[in-house]
Amino acid sequence: MSDSDLIVDDKLLVKTAKSLKKIQYEFEHTEEHQDDLKGVWGSGQIAGAMDDFADNWDYHRKQLLESIKTVGELAEGCHQAFKDLDQKLAKATQPSHGNGGGK
């Protein structure tokens, strides 16, 4: 095997895409819990600080969610591209049938 050979871990790409979908789902549904916690913090400065934190987290969570979606789509696309290429290479290496055998 030369240094230019490319090895792709097909199972890892599939596992990565699935894991990112799970993370994406969790990030999409975390805001459902923010309202549930507002009464727990009490009043005053702690409640205000936690509300600020939740708002800040909400902003950054949305940015992270977009990145997670993008990386997940890239993993899925990479998997499909290598799968398609593997099929084309397998087809190209198969011997030709029907090359005018005299019938």
- Whether residue 61 lies inside any domain: the answer is yes
pLDDT tens readout for residues 42-100: 777 777 787 788 778 878 888 999 999 999 999 999 999 999 988 998 899 888 765 55
- Whether residue 95 lies inside any domain: the answer is no
Tokens of 66: 């977009």
Instruction: Give long-range contacts, CB 8 A cutoff, 24+ apart: 17-26.
Output: 17/72, 17/75, 17/76, 17/79, 20/68, 20/71, 20/72, 20/75, 21/72, 23/68, 24/65, 24/68, 24/69, 24/72
- Whether residue 48 lies inside any domain: the answer is yes
Q: Please tell me the pTM assigned to this model.
A: 0.64
Beta strand extents in the chain (DSSP E only): none
Q: Choose between 63 and 4: higher pLDDT.
A: 63
Give the total number of structural domains in the chain: 1
Among candidate residues 30, 24, 26, the one with its CA nearest the CA of residue 73? 24
pLDDT of 16 over the 90 cut:
yes
The whole domain housing 38 covers: 10-90
